[in-house]
Structure 1
Amino acid sequence: MPIDLDALSLSELRDLRNKVERAISSYEDRRRKEAMAAIESAAREHGFNLAELTGIKLSKSKVAAKYANPEDASQTWSGRGRKPRWVQEHLDNGKPMGELEI
Protein backbone atom coordinates (compact mmCIF):
# COMPACT_ATOMS: atom_id res chain seq x y z
CA MET A 1 0.00 0.00 0.00
CA PRO A 2 1.78 3.13 -1.21
CA ILE A 3 1.87 6.21 1.00
CA ASP A 4 1.02 9.57 -0.52
CA LEU A 5 3.83 11.61 1.02
CA ASP A 6 2.50 14.85 -0.46
CA ALA A 7 -0.69 14.46 1.56
CA LEU A 8 1.12 14.22 4.90
CA SER A 9 1.78 17.15 7.21
CA LEU A 10 5.28 18.03 8.38
CA SER A 11 4.73 16.36 11.77
CA GLU A 12 3.36 13.22 10.08
CA LEU A 13 6.40 13.11 7.77
CA ARG A 14 8.76 13.45 10.74
CA ASP A 15 6.86 10.75 12.61
CA LEU A 16 7.10 8.49 9.55
CA ARG A 17 10.84 9.22 9.28
CA ASN A 18 11.34 8.27 12.95
CA LYS A 19 9.40 5.03 12.45
CA VAL A 20 11.47 4.17 9.36
CA GLU A 21 14.74 4.89 11.19
CA ARG A 22 13.66 2.67 14.12
CA ALA A 23 12.63 -0.09 11.70
CA ILE A 24 15.99 0.10 9.91
CA SER A 25 17.89 0.03 13.20
CA SER A 26 15.83 -2.93 14.43
CA TYR A 27 16.40 -4.77 11.15
CA GLU A 28 20.17 -4.17 11.30
CA ASP A 29 20.34 -5.31 14.94
CA ARG A 30 18.39 -8.47 14.12
CA ARG A 31 20.64 -9.27 11.15
CA ARG A 32 23.77 -8.60 13.24
CA LYS A 33 22.55 -11.01 15.94
CA GLU A 34 21.75 -13.65 13.30
CA ALA A 35 25.21 -13.25 11.77
CA MET A 36 26.90 -13.49 15.19
CA ALA A 37 24.91 -16.64 16.03
CA ALA A 38 25.94 -18.19 12.69
CA ILE A 39 29.61 -17.32 13.28
CA GLU A 40 29.56 -18.73 16.81
CA SER A 41 27.85 -21.90 15.57
CA ALA A 42 30.43 -22.38 12.81
CA ALA A 43 33.26 -21.88 15.32
CA ARG A 44 31.74 -24.50 17.68
CA GLU A 45 31.35 -26.97 14.79
CA HIS A 46 35.12 -26.70 14.26
CA GLY A 47 35.90 -27.09 17.96
CA PHE A 48 36.64 -23.46 18.77
CA ASN A 49 34.97 -20.53 20.44
CA LEU A 50 34.83 -17.08 18.92
CA ALA A 51 37.45 -15.64 21.29
CA GLU A 52 39.96 -18.31 20.25
CA LEU A 53 39.53 -17.45 16.58
CA THR A 54 39.51 -13.68 16.90
CA GLY A 55 42.23 -13.40 19.52
CA ILE A 56 39.96 -11.32 21.73
CA LYS A 57 40.67 -12.03 25.36
CA LEU A 58 37.64 -12.12 27.58
CA SER A 59 38.23 -10.74 31.05
CA LYS A 60 37.76 -13.83 33.15
CA SER A 61 39.37 -14.61 36.43
CA LYS A 62 42.24 -17.07 36.27
CA VAL A 63 41.44 -20.51 37.67
CA ALA A 64 44.09 -22.90 38.94
CA ALA A 65 44.85 -25.92 36.78
CA LYS A 66 43.45 -29.25 38.00
CA TYR A 67 44.71 -31.51 35.22
CA ALA A 68 47.99 -31.87 33.34
CA ASN A 69 48.97 -33.77 30.23
CA PRO A 70 51.22 -36.68 31.38
CA GLU A 71 53.19 -36.42 28.11
CA ASP A 72 53.69 -32.64 28.33
CA ALA A 73 53.30 -31.11 31.80
CA SER A 74 53.17 -27.60 30.32
CA GLN A 75 49.70 -28.43 28.98
CA THR A 76 47.20 -27.96 31.78
CA TRP A 77 43.44 -27.58 32.10
CA SER A 78 41.30 -26.13 34.88
CA GLY A 79 38.39 -28.48 34.24
CA ARG A 80 36.26 -25.61 32.96
CA GLY A 81 35.19 -25.02 29.40
CA ARG A 82 35.86 -27.23 26.40
CA LYS A 83 38.08 -30.22 27.06
CA PRO A 84 41.50 -29.96 25.42
CA ARG A 85 42.22 -32.53 22.73
CA TRP A 86 44.72 -34.38 24.96
CA VAL A 87 42.06 -34.81 27.67
CA GLN A 88 39.49 -36.09 25.19
CA GLU A 89 42.01 -38.52 23.65
CA HIS A 90 42.87 -39.79 27.15
CA LEU A 91 39.18 -40.42 27.88
CA ASP A 92 38.55 -41.95 24.44
CA ASN A 93 41.30 -44.50 25.21
CA GLY A 94 39.25 -45.65 28.19
CA LYS A 95 41.50 -44.10 30.80
CA PRO A 96 40.03 -42.38 33.85
CA MET A 97 40.12 -38.62 34.32
CA GLY A 98 41.76 -39.14 37.73
CA GLU A 99 45.03 -40.09 36.05
CA LEU A 100 45.34 -36.52 34.76
CA GLU A 101 44.85 -34.78 38.12
CA ILE A 102 47.70 -32.63 39.38
Structure 2
Amino acid sequence: MADYDLEALSLNELKKMQKDIAKAISTYEDRQKAEARAKVEALARDLGYSLAELVGTETKTARTPVPPKYRHPENPALTWSGRGRKPQWFVEALSAGKTAEDLAIG
Protein backbone atom coordinates (compact mmCIF):
# COMPACT_ATOMS: atom_id res chain seq x y z
CA MET A 1 0.00 0.00 0.00
CA ALA A 2 1.25 3.46 -0.82
CA ASP A 3 2.23 5.82 1.96
CA TYR A 4 0.60 9.24 1.62
CA ASP A 5 1.58 12.41 3.42
CA LEU A 6 -1.97 13.56 4.08
CA GLU A 7 -0.78 16.84 5.56
CA ALA A 8 0.80 17.81 2.24
CA LEU A 9 -2.41 17.28 0.20
CA SER A 10 -4.84 20.09 -0.61
CA LEU A 11 -8.48 20.03 0.46
CA ASN A 12 -9.59 19.14 -3.09
CA GLU A 13 -7.10 16.27 -3.25
CA LEU A 14 -8.28 14.97 0.13
CA LYS A 15 -11.95 15.17 -0.92
CA LYS A 16 -11.19 13.37 -4.17
CA MET A 17 -9.31 10.68 -2.26
CA GLN A 18 -12.26 10.35 0.12
CA LYS A 19 -14.67 9.85 -2.81
CA ASP A 20 -12.33 7.34 -4.44
CA ILE A 21 -12.04 5.37 -1.20
CA ALA A 22 -15.83 5.33 -0.69
CA LYS A 23 -16.28 4.10 -4.25
CA ALA A 24 -13.62 1.43 -3.82
CA ILE A 25 -15.28 0.19 -0.63
CA SER A 26 -18.69 0.08 -2.31
CA THR A 27 -17.48 -1.81 -5.37
CA TYR A 28 -15.51 -4.21 -3.17
CA GLU A 29 -18.65 -5.01 -1.18
CA ASP A 30 -20.66 -5.45 -4.38
CA ARG A 31 -18.05 -7.87 -5.77
CA GLN A 32 -18.02 -9.86 -2.53
CA LYS A 33 -21.83 -10.11 -2.52
CA ALA A 34 -21.86 -11.21 -6.17
CA GLU A 35 -19.25 -13.89 -5.48
CA ALA A 36 -21.17 -15.14 -2.44
CA ARG A 37 -24.41 -15.23 -4.40
CA ALA A 38 -22.77 -17.16 -7.24
CA LYS A 39 -21.40 -19.73 -4.78
CA VAL A 40 -24.79 -20.17 -3.09
CA GLU A 41 -26.58 -20.45 -6.45
CA ALA A 42 -24.05 -23.06 -7.62
CA LEU A 43 -24.52 -25.07 -4.43
CA ALA A 44 -28.31 -24.92 -4.78
CA ARG A 45 -28.03 -25.95 -8.44
CA ASP A 46 -25.81 -28.92 -7.46
CA LEU A 47 -28.52 -30.01 -5.04
CA GLY A 48 -31.19 -29.72 -7.74
CA TYR A 49 -32.85 -26.50 -6.61
CA SER A 50 -32.90 -22.89 -7.59
CA LEU A 51 -31.93 -20.27 -5.04
CA ALA A 52 -35.44 -18.78 -5.24
CA GLU A 53 -36.94 -22.15 -4.30
CA LEU A 54 -34.73 -22.44 -1.25
CA VAL A 55 -35.20 -18.94 0.13
CA GLY A 56 -38.86 -18.74 -0.81
CA THR A 57 -38.72 -15.67 -3.03
CA GLU A 58 -40.78 -15.35 -6.13
CA THR A 59 -39.35 -14.19 -9.41
CA LYS A 60 -40.82 -10.96 -10.70
CA THR A 61 -43.44 -11.31 -13.38
CA ALA A 62 -44.02 -8.80 -16.12
CA ARG A 63 -47.17 -6.73 -15.88
CA THR A 64 -49.71 -7.12 -18.62
CA PRO A 65 -50.29 -3.96 -20.61
CA VAL A 66 -53.41 -1.97 -19.85
CA PRO A 67 -55.88 -1.80 -22.74
CA PRO A 68 -56.22 1.63 -24.34
CA LYS A 69 -59.12 3.88 -23.35
CA TYR A 70 -58.57 6.74 -25.79
CA ARG A 71 -57.79 6.90 -29.50
CA HIS A 72 -56.50 9.73 -31.68
CA PRO A 73 -59.37 11.04 -33.88
CA GLU A 74 -57.42 10.99 -37.18
CA ASN A 75 -54.73 8.37 -36.50
CA PRO A 76 -56.22 5.25 -34.89
CA ALA A 77 -52.73 3.83 -34.31
CA LEU A 78 -52.20 6.42 -31.55
CA THR A 79 -53.85 5.31 -28.31
CA TRP A 80 -53.58 6.04 -24.62
CA SER A 81 -54.54 3.88 -21.64
CA GLY A 82 -55.49 6.83 -19.45
CA ARG A 83 -52.55 6.15 -17.14
CA GLY A 84 -49.40 8.19 -16.81
CA ARG A 85 -48.63 11.42 -18.57
CA LYS A 86 -51.15 12.61 -21.15
CA PRO A 87 -49.85 12.31 -24.71
CA GLN A 88 -49.44 15.53 -26.65
CA TRP A 89 -52.17 14.61 -29.15
CA PHE A 90 -54.62 14.17 -26.24
CA VAL A 91 -53.73 17.55 -24.73
CA GLU A 92 -54.02 19.24 -28.13
CA ALA A 93 -57.44 17.65 -28.77
CA LEU A 94 -58.71 18.85 -25.39
CA SER A 95 -57.45 22.38 -26.03
CA ALA A 96 -59.16 22.29 -29.45
CA GLY A 97 -62.51 21.81 -27.73
CA LYS A 98 -62.89 18.02 -27.68
CA THR A 99 -63.74 16.20 -24.48
CA ALA A 100 -62.23 13.01 -23.11
CA GLU A 101 -65.51 11.25 -23.92
CA ASP A 102 -65.11 12.29 -27.57
CA LEU A 103 -61.75 10.49 -27.68
CA ALA A 104 -62.86 7.43 -25.71
CA ILE A 105 -62.78 4.05 -27.44
CA GLY A 106 -66.11 2.29 -27.83
Q: TM-score range by the shorter chain?
A: 0.5 to 0.7
RMSD: 1.3
Query: 2:21 matched to which residue of 1?
Result: 20
* SS at structure 2 position matched to 1:58: coil
Query: 2:73 matched to which residue of 1?
Result: none
1:9-63 CA distances to partner (integer Å, 9 max, x unpaired)?
11110000000001111101111100000010010011100011011011347xx
2:31 matches 1:30: yes
Q: Given residue 16 of structure 2, which amino acid in structure 1 is its aligned partner? A: D
Unaligned runs of 5+ in 2: 63-106
| Separation in structure 2 between the aligned mates of residue 19 and residue 59 of structure 1, nearest angstrom | 34
TM-score (norm: length of structure 2): 0.55
Unaligned runs of 5+ in 1: 62-102
* SS at structure 1 position matched to 2:19: helix
| Separation in structure 2 between the aligned mates of residue 47 and residue 11 of structure 1, nearest angstrom | 54
| Separation in structure 2 between the aligned mates of residue 17 and residue 59 of structure 1, nearest angstrom | 37
Q: Given residue 10 of structure 1, which amino acid in structure 2 is its aligned partner? A: L
Q: Could you say which structure has the larger radius of gyration? A: 2
| Matching of residues 15-94 of structure 1 within 5 Å | 15-60=16-61
Give 4+ residue runs of structure 1 displaced > 2 Å after superposition.
none
| Separation in structure 2 between the aligned mates of residue 38 and residue 9 of structure 1, nearest angstrom | 43
| Separation in structure 2 between the aligned mates of residue 27 and residue 59 of structure 1, nearest angstrom | 27
TM-score (norm: length of structure 1): 0.57
Q: Given residue 58 of structure 1, which amino acid in structure 2 is its aligned partner? A: T
